[in-house]
Structure 1
């Protein structure tokens, strides 16, 4: 079987204690106020890696498969993404086929600083988090 290398990135995630201060610094460094993205992620049972459907709540979404170690600190994440124009229908099919592992709703504020994507997430029921993401491919 032909193996195609999946794209990858390095990411770091952490809880944010001062949302306003983090947003102010990110806005200053990116010279923008960031882009607001609403997301409803549904995670499905999967025999290897992770499989999630990201619904952007606007009629579009992405099915994302990724592999990432469950360790603290920077992580290399390998992934593949397929866009969808019907997230609810795809969610129903995947739920029936694989079962739902969990769901997360969040508002993401995206800042671009050089090659780094800085995410400031407000996750429903969990709090505020940041993620730094740098692509390892061109």
Structure 2
């Protein structure tokens, strides 16, 4: 199963981080609009990513919900009918919820740098060090930590969990007495 080492952080200064990502990648990045629908599963996470252009990906992944670098194992398959697949999976499994975001993707070496504006949450940065077969988790963590420093991301800005978790937590807090 493919794997990556991830870091996710809240952004204090989106402009600065975006500029650094441009410099490190040598590109202006690629804008991707996504709607992720999460489904109820007994273990891990299952989401259908709709790229809003008639294509999508069904993604299953497992990773710990901890701050800092974490290993994520995943499986991905493409689809040309994301809306139909959302309906079938919702009928079969039930939905946890949806995350809508605009993502700017920068490639820095083997790392995907995501600068995300998440509807209802705000701005975030996500690093995904795409692991090669021969690499250890420790090598991925080293790469992620180094890139985090180069991007000016502070340890206190790191977050755990997925955007879906943060949205659900916000909903629970809004309904708390």
TM-score w.r.t. length of structure 1? 0.94
Question: 1:92, CA displacement in angstroms?
Answer: 0.3
Deviations 1:5-47 (A, max 9, x none): x110101000011111111111111111100000000000001
Alignment of 1:1-138 (within 5 A): 6-138=1-133
- SS state of the match for residue 65, structure 2? coil
- SS state of the match for residue 87, structure 2? helix
Deviations 1:38-95 (A, max 9, x none): 0000000001110000000000000000000111111100000010000000000000
Question: 1:137, CA displacement in angstroms?
Answer: 2.2
Mapped partners of 1:29, 1:73: distance in 2: 21
Runs of 4+ in 1 over 4 A off after TM superposition: none
| CA root-mean-square deviation | 0.7
- More strand, by proportion: 1
- More helix, by proportion: 2
- SS state of the match for residue 76, structure 2? strand
Mapped partners of 1:114, 1:82: distance in 2: 24
Question: 1:118, CA displacement in angstroms?
Answer: 0.4
